[in-house]
Every structure is written in C-alpha cells, then in structure tokens.
Amino acid sequence: MTDTAPSLGPLRGLRVVEIAALGSAPFAAMMLADAGAEVLRINRPGQHTDDPGILGRGRTALSLDLKDLHDRDRALEAIDHADVLIEGFRPGVMERLGLGPGTCLNRNSALIYARMTGWGQDGPLAATAGHDINYLALTGALRSIARQGEVPVPPLNLVGDYGGGGMLLVIGILAALYERVSSSTGQIVDAAMIDGTSLLMSGIWNRKATGNWSGEPGTNSIDSGSHFYNVYRTADDAFMAVGSIEPQFYQRLLLGLGLADADLPAQHDRAQWPAMKDLCARIFRMKTRAEWTLVFAELDACVSPVLALDEAVTDPHMQFRNTLVRGDRVEPAPAPRYSRTPGTAGGRGENTEPAETLMTRWASTVRAAPATIRTGQH
C-alpha cells in the first residue's frame, strides 16, 4: 500500500531512520510514525521483524546489508538528512558496522542518536543477552508481581519492552529534540529497559520508603494482598476486577455484594484481609460475570468485568473511543490524542512511500519545518 500524503500529526516533518530490531525499538518508531514522523526503516535483506504489520506500520522500508560498504554509505546518506536515528542492538554493534554515534554525529551534528538496550550502554551486563523477564527480574519488579506463596508472574512483556523500553525511548527522543531548539546540537539518548522498569516502579519504591510496602509479595494493598484490589472468579468461570481502594468506592463495593449492613472489620485491617478475600470470593461465585457487570454498572465502585482480547474489541466504551481499530486486522489506535493535529496509524503497514522517493526528497528539499525539529543539515 502506498500513501504519500503528508501526515497531520504533531511530529509532521520529523525525519527518523530506524535500524530494524525487535520489540522496544520498533514500538518507539511506530509511536513516532503514528504522531506524524516520516520513518525510514532499514531492514537486513530477508529480515522479518516481529509483528511487522502493526509494529511496522506507517514506515517506508528499505533493505540494506549494512556490512556492505555501498549499502552502509546509503544508510549514512539517509542519516545525514534525518533528525533521529533509532537503533536497538547490543552496545558496540553499530560502531562495528561503521554507524556509531561518533561517525553519525560528526556528519550530522544535530542528530538525535537514540539507543535502545536492555541493560544499558555500560555496566557489567551491558554486553550480555536478555529479554523483558530478565530486566524485570534484576530490578525487583518481577518478584513483586505474585500472589502470596506463589511464583512470580511475568506481566507479558509490557513493563520492560514497551513501558520501560519503547515509551522511555520516545520520551528521551522528544526531550532531546526540545533541548536542540536552544542548542542546535544533537546528542545520544541511552534508553535501557532496566532503567525504565525501575522508573515504572517509582510508586512502589515510594511506598517502601514510607513503610507502606511489605517485602513479601501478595500481602500488600495493590498486589493481591487485599480483598478490595483483587480479581474474583464468577459463576461462569469468568472474572471480575475489583479496585475499590478509596472509602467511597469500598462502600459501594460492599453495597453491590450485599454486605453494606454486615458487621465487618475495618477496610485496612490487614489481619482480616485473608478472611475478607475468602468472603468476597464466595459471593462473586454466586453470579455470572454478566450479572455482576449489571450489578455494578450504576454503582461507580471501580469494579469491572475482565475481558479477553476478542471481547475488548466489542466493549461499548472501547468501541466509542475507537481504541482498537478494526479493518483487515485489529490493532491499537495511535495514542495519545491531539485536538488539532491528530495522529494516524499510517498506511496500516510498511511502504507508505517508496524508499528511493523518500530518500531523494529528503536529500533535495529544504523543509518549511518548525525550528523544534529542523536540523542543521536541512
């Protein structure tokens, strides 16, 4: 599919070269493309990136063998005219390819050289392999996600790869672009999933610092230790999610469960949490998920049905906001949303513009772009 119409997103005119990798880096590039950036993805010949249809949406793709001198020079030509370079290799790989920050910044001093790794660019583990679960393991995040007495549960790859990885990289890129407005100079962004995961744990570290967090998983208010922040099985073996933390929501939870007039212990009596969890579990087992959804529909108690992926597509609120875009496949819509310059999910895939056309245009035109994204090379 080819779509050469200029994007209306807030990053329109921003030029990004993405050296194709896995997970976090393509997610960051997707977010930039969704927001209007022009992203040229450089693939290895024959390379198949993960989920190319969604994580690769809105890009122009170009196959280059970066170990070949001619192809490397072509990559450098694109980087010369780019605002941002994104790479997600282990430390030293780009340098060995002749595409390290020293080379690229010497040619394009305004370039934001964005590096995405798991362990970071330095440190004892920097050169070693790892995945989302490994970064969570070392930061304490994984050990904190467990019911009492049970093994930790990997939270998919949401925390390291996407939240603590790709989104962290996007924040770093945008911050560096903002700083470039005053300095007219680029810099290196070192985004590490171990750092981003730790940053996402700020609230837990705060609770620990104030004495409000137990080191034993599954005994705290928001880690399945309490009865008012938990998941319960229903009569039809589905689930309801309860997040009734504040007193007003807790009272409405009790009302919905038929316990408003019961003689119960105080909400935050930790010694009684196991017994209260058992009581709530028995009550939730008495009705189906649909019945409980109706019970709590008007109570505003922070109680929600737990939906499967296919069910999320047809949820009325999700449909109203078009949070999931439905076409030949289902995919998340661009986020966040902008009032004047809405983002778009590009051409729903790669090849939004032929690579040769894009590179020629980059090299031969001077953009009428805001100073916030214009480099000294244009």
Contact 331, 283 (CB under 8 A): no
Query: Is 51 in the active site?
Result: no
Parallel/antiparallel/unpaired status of strands 229-233 and 84-87 = unpaired
CA distances to 155, 187, 235, 257, 283 from 279, rounded to whole Å, are 27, 57, 15, 10, 6
Task: Please tell me which residue in 34, 83, 132, 161 is annotated as part of the active site.
Answer: 161
Task: Tell the burial category of 128 from Cβ atoms under 10 Å away from its Cβ (0-12, 13-18, 19+).
Answer: exposed
Distance of CA 90 to the CA centre of its chain: 20
- Phi-psi label, residue 168: left if phi above 0, alpha if psi -120 to 50, beta otherwise: alpha
Give the up-direction half-sphere exposure of residue 111: CA atoms within 13 A in the CB hemisphere.
27
Active site includes 70? no
CA dihedral (360, 363, 367, 369) positive or negative: positive
Selecting among 51, 80, 131, 190, the annotated active-site residue is 131
Give the catalytic positions in this structure: 131, 161
